[in-house]
Structure 1
Amino acid sequence: MALTNKPRVIIVVTILVIGIIGGTLIAASLVPTNTENDTLKITLLANAGIMIESDGLRIYVDPVDLPSNYSDLPADIILVTHPHGDHYQTDVIDMLQKDDTVNIFPSNMSDAVTLYDAIGVEPLDQVQVGTVNITAFYMYTWAPAPFEASHPPENNWTSYIIDINGFVVFHAGDSKNLPEYQQIAGQIDVVCLPLGPGCQTMAGYEVVEAIQDLDADYFIPIHFTEGNEQLFMLEYGDDIAD
């Protein structure tokens, strides 16, 4: 995943985005300022959902709870990390479809793969869609005994590495800070990481450690309740900048 020919501008709408350059937090919020073809726009949706737009291409990851006017913004690509109801909703997937939408789901979601004629993937599978290279990556959690993990590794659910003309976005889905992140350290421009709850995903200082391990330029928090992203930055902002 060579980081070449990157878009010059990253535009992030309606979200908190933290730029980490040279150990310094360079931004708290970025808003649309440029509409050139070489820009990339990321919009935070409900829960862990994001919408990526670049040069006429629209990619959704885990779209849920979208208002009906999103039917005017159909998907070129839809990525789903796992079948939990706060990440996968058939009515939303239906609303975003057009004739040539490419749907990419974990192979474990066999009924959904069949329903949407989707491409089923497992960690480390790659799919090329036009100029976009998508790598399915690891996504799992663990729990202390005697509890069972809500996202067990044997399900082979997937996070996604999305390479758009050399600009790389990583969406972690519902994950802990995984040892496999060392495999992609320094190769990501934007990391989208969950803030909790800790029984379901990484949380607290574990998120800081994941940011440091992945060594990206930008961090976008996902999977949080209202206000928790601000509380997270108040508590851990200095640690992210270190």
Structure 2
Amino acid sequence: MLRLLPLILIFAVLPFTLVQAQLNSDPDRIETENGELVIHPILHGSVVFEWNGLNVYVDPWGDAALYEDKDSPDLILISHPHGDHLSPETLNSLNTENATFIVPQAVADEMPEQYSDQIMILDNGESLEQNGINIKAIAMYNLPNEGARHTKGWGNGYVITMGGKDIYISGDTEDIPEMRTLEGIDIAFVCMNLPYTMDIYQAASAVLDFEPAIMYPYHHRGQDIERFKEIVDWEGKNIEVRLKDWYPSQ
């Protein structure tokens, strides 16, 4: 808690932004060592990556219409079994015939039987390579851990490496040491929604520690992401905070 006090004091003296950012969910394009990486913000904690002819879906959730103009997934990463991350209804609306699922054991235990031959289980700290993409499972959990909604080892955050770019997906977590000690992250997606994960001050404090080059607040329903960006920008570090519309119908 003590490490949050400087950010809380900063918040108290910084002027509020009077004009809200105009958000959109348009794709972002980032050059890699092997072609263009296209990032599609979808909904809440759901994101789709296109790279090198492959399509990587993370925590697909929401109406089928959100995915109508997207190519079928080659890889599907699911962080944990909660319904806004593991959604059998959404999966059933996708063409997953040729997809490989990367999941923790807790997700595998709740996956519909029809996907059983397509699942690869990854525990915290483990990594694998699939279709030229390296995927490492990172811990995600609440503090204190005992009796928490998200306990250590139950779910995965991920570091995905595509074309030399390291992309961190936080899953549902607080500002845990495993996140704060990440190094060399090019692109980060960090959650911030109380009471399930953390507030914008905890998230900002953690992000300022591990310093991703590009930072997307996501999974942030009800939180002031404009204020989050102000706090990170005020520190003057080389972190580009990109605000997108993760709740387009609301």
TM range (shorter): 0.7 to 0.9
What pairs with 1:66-145 in structure 2 (closer than 5 Å)? Answer: 66-68=63-65, 70-71=67-68, 73=70, 74-109=72-107, 110-112=109-111, 114-117=113-116, 118-143=119-144
Call closer, same or farther: CA 1:154–1:163 in 2, change over 3 Å: closer
Q: Secondary structure at the match of 1:45?
A: strand
Instruction: Give the conservation status (yes or no) of the 8 Å contact 1:142–1:150.
Output: no
The correspondence of residues 1-20 of structure 1 with structure 2, limited to 5 A, is 14-15=24-25
Q: Which residue of 2 aligns with 1:150?
A: 149
Q: Which residue of 2 aligns with 1:188?
A: 185
Structure 2 residue 175 is matched with structure 1 residue 177: yes
Identify the residue that residue 51 of structure 1 maps to in structure 2.
48
Question: Which consecutive aligned stretches of 4+ in structure 1 deviate over 4 angstroms post-superposition?
Answer: 29-34
Following TM superposition, by how much is the alpha carbon of 1:211 offset from its aligned partner in structure 2, in angstroms? Answer: 1.1
RMSD, matched Cα = 2.9
Match 1:213 to one of 209, 212, 229: 209
Provide closer, same or farther for how the CA distance between residues 213 and 33 of structure 1 changes in structure 2, counting only shifts above 3 A: closer
Cα distance, 1:164 vs structure 2: 0.8
- Aligned equivalents of 1:162 and 1:123: distance in 2? 14
AA aligned to 2:219 is H
Distance 1:97-1:106 versus aligned 2 partners, 3 A rule: farther
Among 48, 57, 61, the residue aligned to 2:58: 61
Q: How many matched pairs?
A: 211
Give the TM-score normalised by the residue count of structure 2.
0.74
Greater alpha carbon shift after TM alignment, 157-166 vs 61-70: 61-70
Match of 1:20 in 2: none
Which SS does the other structure have where 1:184 is aligned? coil
Q: Secondary structure at the match of 1:211?
A: helix
Q: Residue in 2 aligned with 1:163? A: 161
Q: Secondary structure at the match of 1:92?
A: helix
Between the aligned partners of 1:226 and 1:111, the Cα distance in structure 2 is 29
In the TM superposition, what is the alpha-carbon distance from 1:163 to its structure 2 partner?
A: 0.5
